């Protein structure tokens, strides 16, 4: 596991089933994710929807990348193709050097569990488990020793400021706390990439901000690589780079560089307006 003191990413002892890299060496500037000419067509002959058309991009280790676009532009389809939940029509997706579009079912299940972290709009926590047990679940499934599991869960919870809810059940937590627990669950296995689809979609603005700060902390303190779909310019302003998609194609991208978040937000809003809307409502 790679959680050191002060958030330093340390050399990791080999934990069976929970390798951060699946054995592949990860170097700075090396893409964790490569999406190559991905096309996705739904339906057959008379009723065809081309949800994605020739989408290519890559994400480096430690990047926090946003995907923005209007409703129906293909954001979820893209994330589902990357996360192996959906299959591509053509093109391929490579994660940590492994072509997931050619992986067979059994291997894929394991790959998903070990290499991918998920945060959805709804937390998908198990109602009968406490927050601690929910966060621990992926490690329990991977047969990580109990002592180490507890230590990891405690550390992640502290970093994401949810240590106080660890013994609560989902119904005893606010929506925002549930989402931060879900974020901790996505992070705890130290996955190659964390995939989030509208993670703030069901939250009020205060809780959205807290969740985004948690994801930002995951990214900065653990060098977690995050790909986040959102239609919200405010959420997108927390990322390092935003890909804008329209009609299933990448329209343009914005890099934050060293700009403060507010300035990045303004630049995002400009692109949103240019893409044909009045404000973020158009996306
Ligand atoms: N399972 C499906 N079957 C048929 N069409 C689909 C399916 N999923 C998505 N689509 C279509 O693909 C397009 C992109 O959808 P989606 O990726 O959900 O967009 P977004 O997440 O940006 O709102 C839309 O036109 C949508 O109707
Ligand atoms: Mg969607």
Nearest protein Cα to ligand 1, atom 5: 42
pTM: 0.87
Query: Which ligand 1 atom is the nearest neighbour of the CA of 248?
Result: 14
State whether residue 60 is helix, strand or coil: strand
Residue 11: its pLDDT value, please?
Answer: 38
71 CB less than 6 Å from ligand 1? yes
Burial class (CB in 10 A: 0-12, 13-18, 19+), 259: middle
Residue 29: its pLDDT value, please?
Answer: 73
Domain count along the chain: 1
Residue 26: its pLDDT value, please?
Answer: 42
The C-alpha atoms of residue 106 and residue 121 are separated, in whole angstroms, by 27
Return averaged pLDDT per consecutive 10 residues of the chain, 283 residues in all.
41 38 49 97 90 97 96 95 94 96 91 93 93 96 93 93 96 95 95 96 93 94 95 96 96 96 97 72 45
Residue 123: its pLDDT value, please?
Answer: 87
| Torsion sign across C-alpha atoms 164, 166, 172, 175 | positive
Query: Which of 40, 50, 74 has most ligand 1 atoms within 8 Å of its beta carbon, as the pocket-test mutant?
Result: 74
43 CB less than 6 Å from ligand 1? yes
- Ligand 1 geometric centre to CA of 72 (Å): 6
Query: Which ligand 1 atom is the nearest neighbour of the CA of 40?
Result: 12
Q: Using N-to-C axis directions, what is the helix angle for 175-187 and 205-222, rounded to 10°?
A: 20
Q: What is the per-residue DSSP string for 81-146?
A: HHTTSS--SEEEEEETTEEGGG--HHHHHHHHHHHEEEE-SS----TTS-HHHHHHHHHHHTT--H
- CATH number of domain containing 117: 3.40.50.300
Domain limits for position 135:
5-282
- Ligand 1 geometric centre to CA of 245 (Å): 13
72 CB less than 6 Å from ligand 1? yes
């Amino acid at each position: 596991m790679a959680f050191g003191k002060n958030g330093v990413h340390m050399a990791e002892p080999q934990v069976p089933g929970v390798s951060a890299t699946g054995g592949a060496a990860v170097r700075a500037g090396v893409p964790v994710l490569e999406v190559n000419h991905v096309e996705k067509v739904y339906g057959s002959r008379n009723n065809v929807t081309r949800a994605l058309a020739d989408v290519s991009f890559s994400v480096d280790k430690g990047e926090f990348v946003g995907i923005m676009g209007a409703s129906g532009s293909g954001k979820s389809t893209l994330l589902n193709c990357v996360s192996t939940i959906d299959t591509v029509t053509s093109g391929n997706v490579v994660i940590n050097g492994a072509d997931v579009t050619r992986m067979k079912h059994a291997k894929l299940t394991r790959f998903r569990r070990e290499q991918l972290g998920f945060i959805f709009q709804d937390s998908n926590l198990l109602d009968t488990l406490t927050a601690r047990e929910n966060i621990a679940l992926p490690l329990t499934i991977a047969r990580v020793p109990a002592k180490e599991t507890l230590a990891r869960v405690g550390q992640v919870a502290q970093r994401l400021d949810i240590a106080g809810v660890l013994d609560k059940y989902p119904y005893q937590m606010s929506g925002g706390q549930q989402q931060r627990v879900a974020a901790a669950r996505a992070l705890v296995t130290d996955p190659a990439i964390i995939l989030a689809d509208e993670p703030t979609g069901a939250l009020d603005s205060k809780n959205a901000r807290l969740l985004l700060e948690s994801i930002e902390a995951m990214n900065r303190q653990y060098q977690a690589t995050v790909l986040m779909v959102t239609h919200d310019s405010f959420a997108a302003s927390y990322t390092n780079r935003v890909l804008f998609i329209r009609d299933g194609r990448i329209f343009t991208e914005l890099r934050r560089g060293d700009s403060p978040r507010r300035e990045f937000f303004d630049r995002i809003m400009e692109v949103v307006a240019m893409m044909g809307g009045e404000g973020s409502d158009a996306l």
